[in-house]
Every structure is written in C-alpha cells, then in structure tokens.
Amino acid sequence: MTDLFRALMILLPLTYGVSLVLYIVYFNVNNDKYRRQAYALVVAGVVLHLMYLALKGWYFRYFPITNTFESFSMIAISTSIIYLLLERIQKEGKTGLFFMSIAFIFQLVASMFMKDGASHNALLSNPMFGFHTISTLLGITALAISALYGLMYWMLAKEIKAHRFGTTYNNLPPLETIEDMGRTASVIGLVLLGLGILLGHFWAYRMLGYFFTIDPKIIVADLAWLSYAIGWFWVIRGNLAGLRMSRIAFWGFFVFFFSMILINLLGDTFHKFV
Amino acid sequence: MNTTHIVLIGWSHENAPIAFRDKVALNSEHIQLFLYLAEENKSIGEIGILSTCNRTEFYGLVEDPSHLINWVYDAYQDLRGLGLRHNETVPYSFQDEEAVEHLFSVSAGMKSMILGENQILAQVKDALEQIKLRENKYPVLHHLFQDAIRAGKAVRSQTALCEGAVSISLAAVELGKKIFRNFEKRKILIIGAGETAELTALHFQNTGGSHFMIANRSEHSRAELASRLNGTAHSLEELNDILPEADVVVAATGSPDYLLSMEMLKNALKVRRYSPILLIDISSPRNIDPAARKLNDIFLYDIDNLDEVVNENLIKRKNELPAAAKVIAGILEDFTHWWKSLEIFPTISDLNEYFRSVQQQELDKFKFKVNADTMDVMEKLSALIIKKLLHYPIINLRKMANGESIDIHKIRTLRDLFELDEFQNNSINKE
C-alpha cells in the first residue's frame, strides 16, 4: 500500500503541473482546446487526490492532516476543487493558471517531504473531525480565492483606467466575470466555513461536553465568519459592485487570515492537532 | 505538357491612387462580362477576378504573361471604354509562385489597407464563386482560390494578425468587452445622433447590445436613431435621470460644453451602487468632464485614448506579419506541389506512349520478315524490355507526385531528352 501512496505522491504534482502548463498556454493562446484539456486533468488530479486521501485515512486510521505537508496537500486539493467549481459555474478558464500554480506548488512540496504514518493526535481518528476539517479548509480556500479575484479585479481595473494594455489587460477575463467568480467563491466560502465551524462546535460538544469555549482561536474564527457574513449581507442587500466589492473581498480575507496567524503564534489554544 | 503560367496583374492602394482605383473597380455584373469575354479568348486558359474597393486583380492561366495584360487592356477598352494601355499607372504583375503567394497574402489581410481586415476573405470567396459558375470550371484557379481561402482562415486562426480593433468605434466596443462579459443585458446610452454615434451604436448592436437610449438635442434625429436601434429617445435635459441606468455611455455630439459633469457621474455611481460605467467620449470638443477619470468605477476614454488603442493594435498586427507569412508558406508549398504534380502524370503517360510507339515502329519493320509466332514472341519481349526500362523512371516520377519534392527541372530534362513535347504535338497533328 505504501508503494501506491508513493506512486500517487509522484502522480499528483505531475497531474497538477501539466494542467498548470496547459492553463498557462490557454492564458496566452486563446484556444479552448487547452482549457478543456487542463480542466480534464484537474478533474483527474482531484479524483486521484481524493482516492489517495481516502486510502490513506483508511489504512492509517486517521484523517491525513497530521503534519505540515499533509496540510499542504489538503490546501492543494481544496484549491483545485474550489477552482473547478468556479470554472464550471462561470465557464471561464483564463484564471486557472493562478490557482493551479498554488495547487501545484503546495502539492509538490507535500510530495517531496511527506512522511506517511506519523504519530498523531487520537482526536484525528474521529471521522467527524474529517468533515469539520474538510469543510473549514474548503471554506477558507474559497475565501482566499475570492480575495485573489478581488486583487485581479483591482489590477485589471487599474490597467483599464490607466490605458495600459499589457498581458493583464489582454489575457484576463472581463471585470464582470472576475467579479462574478469572486462573488461565487465568497458565497461558497461563507457556507462551507460556516458549516465547518458549526461541525467543530458540535464535535466539541460531543467529545468535550461543551458547545462553546473561551478559546482565542475559536472566538476569532467565529467572529471572522460573523463579520464576513454581515459584510456579505450588506454587499448583497446593497447590490454593491465594482472596486468597492473587490476591496472588501481582499481586505476581509487579509484581516481574517492575519488574525488567525496572530492567534496561532501568540495565543494559547486547545485547537492544535499538528 | 503544361507550359502555362499563373499570372496576376492588378492595381491596389499600393500602386494606384484612389481616383484610378475607382475607375478600374468592377462590380459583380462587370466581372461577369469580363469573364464571358475571356472565355472567347483562346490564349487565356482560365481567369479569376478579385475586385474590392481598394483592389482589382486579374488572375489568369496563360502561356505568355503578355496575353493576359493585353487582354485586360482590351477588355477595359471594349467593356468600360477605358484606355489603360498608355496610362501612367502601370499594374503590378506577378507570375507563378509569386502570384500565388500574393493572393494568399491578400486573402489573409496582409496586403489590406487596414492590416488584417476581415472583409477581404469574403471577397476572395466571392471571386471563387464566380469561378465556380464558369462552364469550364477552371480547375487550376479553382484550386488556387480555394487554397487562398484556406490561407486566409489559417492566418486568422493561427496568428493574431486580425485581432484587436483598428477603428475608433470598434476600439470602444473592444474596451467594453474588457469590462462587461457581453452587452445583451447592458444599457447603452448614446449621446448624439450623428454618423459617428450611429456607427458606434451599430458596433455595440453587432456584438449583442440591444438596450439603447438615445439622447440628443434634436427631437427628430433622436427619434429616428432610436427607432433604427429599437431604443428609447430622450432629450439632453433627461440625461441626469437616465445616466444611472447606463452601463455604457457613448458621447458623440458637436456640443461645445460638457454634457456629463463630475457631479452627474458621482450621483449616477451612487445610485448604481458603484457598478462600473464605461464612458466613451468621441466628441471634439469633449462632452464628458475629464476629471471624472478620478472616480473609481468610471472608465473614461476620449478620442485620443481610443486612437492609442487603435495604434497599439496596428503595431501588434504588424508584429504578427512574420508568423502569418510562415502560415502562408506552408499552404503555398502545398499548392506549388499540386501545381507541379500536374506535369508529372502527363509526362508518365507521354513516356509510355513514346516507348510504345518506338516499339511499334521497330516491330513494323519485321512484320513481313518473321512468322506470326516469332512476331508474337518479339512483341512480348520488347514489351517486357520497355516495362523494365521504364520501371524506375515511372516509380520515381510517381514518388515525386506522392509527396516527395517535385523538381520541375528533372521533369523538363526528361521531356527534352526524349523530345516528348514534339512527340505529343506530332501525335495531336496526326489525329
């Protein structure tokens, strides 16, 4: 079985890498053939990746997010899944190279340094933890992707305003499409992160006997999600669009991400499994 | 043996002033007449005519290029009453590969006045349709024009020669496409009802725009344009009210004042919840306050900015010329190969016939000297020897025709060595 894991660890960055190359070609050469091939490869990569995670979880009896490199691999698959969803919904593949480069780099590093069957926290053997983690990670990835779309919008709008017609102008999709992709990513992110947080609370209730605890990481995560939700309610209710919306998506995630990093670095939290 | 040439003579913006081009331009009726006239001329094997507003070209299959040029002069004299023979504007003339390459480049838009324009491809298709209508079918020019269309399409799909707007109004539409995915649900406000305003509106309409609002001082003009575009007509006083609805605004009036002020645009953005607006100001003097550029969700382009876009696109198109030439070279090679292969099969047939005639002549000498059985043996033996002798020459000629490079000089030498042209002429005379 470990031979199969090793083979998959080689195959995964290879699949993501080739799809990245195809997305780069598609970005520069407007031929839909490359987009279709790249998309098919990402689908294949995600299927292989899911197979790998399921087999590994079954074989080692834990949810495979016990170390940094397993987390990297999870980031790679989350990015690929969210991006696939967005490309399918919006039928636009010009931004594929940005997200597949993230997936490729994370998976490459993970494949290079991954060690199977490391010791792990007993809590990670609980299947509910898997659902909580997957949902949270997919949610955060979707919000990160939404922030990147915000940045892309910002960059392209700047180019159009400044009458600069470089690579960004020529190859990125229209502002409206970027905005829609970012908006869709945000909605996916909000729902999945919300679900992940909720599952986390239920899990804590079942395992530890309380639904909520005064833990800085939990408080920040809950507050961040709540602010995001309120922000989006305001955006959707006000039908807010354009640069303002892209900035909200970008800075919203920026604040959320750095507050989580700060809490992880400075705060004392029970929420540590790696 | 095929000793004909593909010859081109023509006039275009490269060698003739517009007044002359107007004189020699031919509409489809003229072309029909010219083609009928050419059919009566024995020295012209095939003929094709390409006539556009900037180009009139005659492609002929003739033994001597002077046949075509003289016929063209005579035809203009007879059908249009134009004496071109002594005119200072001399047509350009190309032969064989150069003529073919020229047509392919024309079809690709490489020789067009506006580099990479698309209309020419349709005009080459029209010329092919005219050729198809001829009773004689003109197989060589049919193949040539078909390949020209192939070249035009290949250049358009494999290079960026025809990409990017090269007119002010198209550049405006292209900019819009960078902001909005499409114009189907977008409201387009046209301020002005003149020619420029209408042309730009039509470009938006051609790319899916269907919700037009026309604002103009003259009630009659705005109502007319609105009815043509299936839109709504508004007075200039209504601008403040309708501006927030507009995703794209095109201003093309002769007004000396700003019709859209900073305040109006600020207000419109607020009402729109900051959904972006593309403003195209192609008026001179400008009709939109240039300070509006500072507003975040306003994308304002004036005539100078659009001119920049056009110039940049033209430079990009020029940079694509080497890539386009490469695409054309491939198709030119295919055509040349086919064209040369036309000479191989008659040569194989002539060689066979020549050897059989020599065999027959020599056998005739022994007709009454040997008995029938011996004659039969001699016939079989000589036929076998001829078959053996011709085996490799014919195999090699067929190889040439089947994809290996065709060396026309080798075929010529072969024909000269056996005097096949003379042999063929004698055979025709005997018949």
**Structure confidence at residue B155 (pLDDT):** 95
Find which of A89, A161, A179, A236 to mutate to test the B interface (most B CBs within 10 Å of its CB).
A161
**Structure confidence at residue B1 (pLDDT):** 47
Please answer whether residues A96 and A23 qualify as being in contact, where contact means their C-beta atoms are separated by less than 8 angstroms.
yes
B183 at interface of A, judged by CB pairs closer than 8 A:
no
**Structure confidence at residue B273 (pLDDT):** 84
Contacts of B87 (CB under 8 A, 6+ apart): B20
CA distance linking residue B48 with residue B71, whole number of Å: 13
Mean pLDDT in residue range A76-105: 94
Q: Which residue is closest to A244 within chain B, CA to CA?
A: B274
A28 at interface of B, judged by CB pairs closer than 8 A:
no
The 10s digit of each residue's pLDDT in B177-226 is 999 998 999 999 999 998 889 989 999 999 999 999 999 999 999 999 99
Q: Are B296 and A244 a contacting pair at CB < 8 A?
A: yes
ipTM comes to: 0.81
Measure CB to CB from residue B274 to each of A173, A177, A240 and give the nearest one.
A240
Q: Are A242 and B178 a contacting pair at CB < 8 A?
A: no
Beta bridge mates, B212: B188
Nearest-10 crossing angle of helices B139-158, B96-108:
40
Q: Which carries the bigger pLDDT value, residue A79 or residue B349?
A: A79
If you ran DSSP here, which 8-state letter would residue A30 be given? -
CA distance linking residue A158 with residue A80, whole number of Å: 28
Edge to edge, the sheet with strand B277-281 lists B232-234, B211-215, B187-191, B248-251, B277-281, B298-302
Find which of B158, B163, B177, B181 to mutate to test the A interface (most A CBs within 10 Å of its CB).
B181
A244 at interface of B, judged by CB pairs closer than 8 A:
yes
* C-alpha torsion sign, points A51, A52, A53, A54: positive
- Residue identified by tokens 């490459």 is A108
Considering only CB atoms, which chain B residues are within 8 Å of A167? none
Annotated active-site residue B53? The verdict is yes
Could you please report the per-residue DSSP string of A73-141?
HHHHHHHHHHHHHHHHHHT--TTHHHHHHHHHHHHHHHHHH--TT----GGGGSHHHHHHHHHHHHHHH
pLDDT of residue A97 exceeding 90, the answer is yes
What does the radius of gyration of chain A's CA atoms come to, in whole angstroms? 19
Active-site pick, B14, B17, B36, B53: B53
How far CA B335 is from CA of A240, B94, B303, B327, in Å, comes to 59, 16, 45, 13
Considering only CB atoms, which chain A residues are within 8 Å of B181? 173-174, 176-177, 180
Burial A191-212 (b: 16+ CB within 10 A, else e): ebbbbbbebbbebbeeeeeeee
**Structure confidence at residue A53 (pLDDT):** 87
Q: Which helix (H) or strand (E) holds B303?
A: helix B303-319
Measure CB to CB from residue A243 to each of B296, B308, B309 and give the nearest one.
B296
Q: Which of B248, B252, B236, B239 is nearest to B197 (CA)?
A: B252
A251 at interface of B, judged by CB pairs closer than 8 A:
no
Measure CB to CB from residue A241 to each of B274, B299, B301 and give the nearest one.
B274
Please answer whether residues A199 and A132 qualify as being in contact, where contact means their C-beta atoms are separated by less than 8 angstroms.
yes
pLDDT of residue A6 exceeding 70, the answer is yes
Helix (H, G, I), strand (E, B) or coil at B187: strand
> A52 to chain B nearest CA, in Å?
38
B311 at interface of A, judged by CB pairs closer than 8 A:
no
Contacts of B381 (CB under 8 A, 6+ apart): none
Burial of residue B113, with CB atoms counted within 10 A of its CB: 0-12 exposed, 13-18 middle, 19 or more buried: middle
B181 at interface of A, judged by CB pairs closer than 8 A:
yes
Q: Are B305 and A163 a contacting pair at CB < 8 A?
A: yes
Residue A56 CB: number of other CB atoms within 10 A? 23
Q: Which residue is closest to A180 within chain B, CA to CA?
A: B181
The 10s digit of each residue's pLDDT in A48-72 is 999 998 888 888 777 777 778 888 9
CA distance linking residue A132 with residue A254, whole number of Å: 23
Q: Is the peptide bond preceding residue B285 cis, with omega within 30 degrees of 0?
A: yes
pLDDT of residue A268 exceeding 60, the answer is no
CA distance linking residue A129 with residue A124, whole number of Å: 6
How far CA B234 is from CA of A28, A209, B191, B214, B246, in Å, comes to 43, 69, 9, 6, 13
Contacts of B23 (CB under 8 A, 6+ apart): B82
B338 at interface of A, judged by CB pairs closer than 8 A:
no
In the stretch 136-175 of chain A, residues with CB closer than 8 A to chain B read: 156-157, 160-161, 163, 165, 169, 173-175
Q: Which helix (H) or strand (E) holds B409?
A: helix B408-417
The 10s digit of each residue's pLDDT in A189-210 is 999 999 998 988 887 787 777 7
The 10s digit of each residue's pLDDT in A106-142 is 999 999 988 766 666 666 666 667 788 889 889 999 9
Point out the residues of chain B with pLDDT beneath 50: 1
pTM: 0.71
Q: pLDDT band at residue A272, thresholds of 50, 70 and 90?
A: low
A243 at interface of B, judged by CB pairs closer than 8 A:
yes
Q: Are A160 and B299 a contacting pair at CB < 8 A?
A: yes
Q: What are the DSSP E strand ranges found in B22-136? A: 44-51, 55-62, 92-95
Q: Which carries the bigger pLDDT value, residue A268 or residue A68?
A: A68
Could you please report the per-residue DSSP string of B212-242?
EEEE-S-HHHHHHHHHHHT-EEE-GGGHHHH
The 10s digit of each residue's pLDDT in A81-93 is 999 999 999 889 9
Measure CB to CB from residue A176 to each of B180, B272, B273 and give the nearest one.
B180
Please answer whether residues B348 and B397 qualify as being in contact, where contact means their C-beta atoms are separated by less than 8 angstroms.
yes
If you ran DSSP here, which 8-state letter would residue B153 be given? H
Q: Are B276 and A175 a contacting pair at CB < 8 A?
A: yes
